[in-house]
Structure formats: C-alpha cells, structure tokens
Amino acid sequence: MNKLSCFIGYDSKEDIAYRVCKYSLKKRSSLKTNIISLKLDELVAKNYYYRLIDPLASTQFTYSRFLVPALMNFKGWALFCDCDFIFLSDVADLIKNVDESKAVYCVQHDYTPKEKHKMDGKKQTIYPRKNWSSFILFNCSHPSNKKLTVDLVNQETGAFLHQFKWLKDQEIGSLDERWNWLEGWTSNHNNNQPFAVHFTRGGPWFSEWQDVEYAKEWIKERNEYISKKFELI
C-alpha cells in the first residue's frame, strides 16, 4: 500500500486544530495521503448526512465518521481521526501489518474520564468503548462494513455506532495505544513516546488548556504551519 485516504473530523469551533492535525499527518507521512475534511455542510449538501440534531453530540463529526466506508465506495483502507490530534510518527507504520479479516482497527482503551465536561463546556458522556471511535482504520472493502450504508449511519443510535455494534468482536483489530495517546491519561501507565497525541480533555488552541501534556509540541507545529502558510483546507 503506497497511498492512504485520511478523513479528519472537522468542527468550525476548532478550525486551527484541524489544520495542525492535517499538517502534522502530511508532514510525517512517507505515503501519498489524500486528506479529506469531514465538513458537515458539504455532507448535507451531497445528501450523505441528514440526521436530526442530537443535543448529546459533542462535535459536528460525532456521526459522520461512520460514513467513511460509503465515501470510499466500500473499497480500500482509510483512516479516520478526530481533529484534536497531532501526529508525531509516520502513518505508513500504521498499515504495515494489517489483516484483511479485520473490518476496523482501533486502540481499545479501557478509559473512564474524570472530567465532567469537555474542553468547550459540553457534558462528558461515559459509555463502553469510549474513545475507540476517535481513531479508526477502516477496511472499507470488508463485507461487514457494507452494513454502514448512508441510511444506517443517519438512523442508528450513537451507542450502536460508537461501540461498533455492526461488527463481531473478532472483526475489531487492536492498534498500539500510542496511536491514540490520550493526553493526561495514557502517560499514567505507558512510559513510551506517543505516535499520535489525542487532546481529548482540551487542547492548547483553547486559552484555558495551555499547560496540558504535549502542548509545546502542538504549539511548535502550529507555528511552523503558520510560518509556511500551508493552505490545507
């Protein structure tokens, strides 16, 4: 595999987070990467997205991530990640040993957040397999992923989608947790260096989250992006 489609969740409240995430991924990738922003208004205009507004949805891409196999015409492999990531390693390493029998790969966290609210004041919801869906490597050709039709994604519950209930457990592959390193949590039990940091509590693009782990790395990446004036959207 010498190229990879990468879908990044886009939320207008976190535009700079999206831009830095995209820049960090592309900068370090030895693969040809086709990076697509999951912009809700574009998906609505193309009739891919027509769900009713969910008051519990914490981002504009809460549900649209599950459209990735359909957007790929159910062919090939594709990566999805939330916008509040910074990549520190080459995504080529992510796909070196993928198994075609797996429908998805993700970091299988056993995680219960302590915070009651997210970075933008949204209530923190707790559910099984939390954060598994924040970084998904989709095998879009897998027969089980063909269940993820546009209609199903627009009609099914959040619990069904985010807990991968369209799949059998053995169809869910496990990634090294360094690919979805939860800032403020993973370092409590892992002494290694992350491949991709997830600022799930709050990132340094918010004034009140300037002192989180890996904030310096994110700020450095942002400044580099700005100085090079990359047009990433």
Q: Which H/E stretch holds residue 82?
A: none
Using a cut of 0.75, tell me whether the model's pTM lies above it. Answer: yes
Identify whether 216 is part of a domain: yes
Strands 135-139, 77-81: pairing is antiparallel
Identify whether 125 is part of a domain: yes
Predicted pLDDT of residue 31 = 96
Total domains in the fold of the chain: 1
Please state, in angstroms and rounded to a whole number, the distance separating the CA atoms of residues 180 and 145.
22
Q: pLDDT tier at 231 (50, 70, 90 boundaries)?
A: low
Please state, in angstroms and rounded to a whole number, the distance separating the CA atoms of residues 170 and 162.
16
The token pair that represents 85 in the structure block = 């990531």
End-to-end CA distance of the chain: 25
Could you tell me if 156 and 176 are in contact, meaning their C-beta atoms sit under 8 angstroms apart?
A: no
Identify whether 159 is part of a domain: yes
Give tens-digit pLDDT for 127-171: 678 899 999 999 999 999 999 999 999 999 999 999 999 999 999
158 HSE (CA, 13 A, CB side): 18
Could you tell me if 109 and 131 are in contact, meaning their C-beta atoms sit under 8 angstroms apart?
A: yes
Identify whether 158 is part of a domain: yes
Range of the domain at 46: 3-228
Identify whether 233 is part of a domain: no
Predicted pLDDT of residue 125 = 61
The token pair that represents 147 in the structure block = 């269940």
Q: pLDDT tier at 199 (50, 70, 90 boundaries)?
A: very high
Predicted pLDDT of residue 54 = 87
Q: What b/e sequence results for 193-221 when a residue is b if at least 16 CB atoms lie within 10 Å of its CB, and e otherwise?
A: ebbbbbbbbbbbbeeeeeebbbbeebeeb
Predicted pLDDT of residue 117 = 45
Task: DSSP letter for 53, please.
Answer: P
Q: What is the mean pLDDT of residues 195-199?
A: 98
Give tens-digit pLDDT for 50-98: 999 888 888 999 999 999 999 999 999 999 999 999 999 999 999 999 9
Identify whether 107 is part of a domain: yes
In terms of phi and psi (left: phi > 0; alpha: psi -120 to 50; beta: otherwise), the region of 156 is beta
CATH (domain of 195): 3.90.550.10
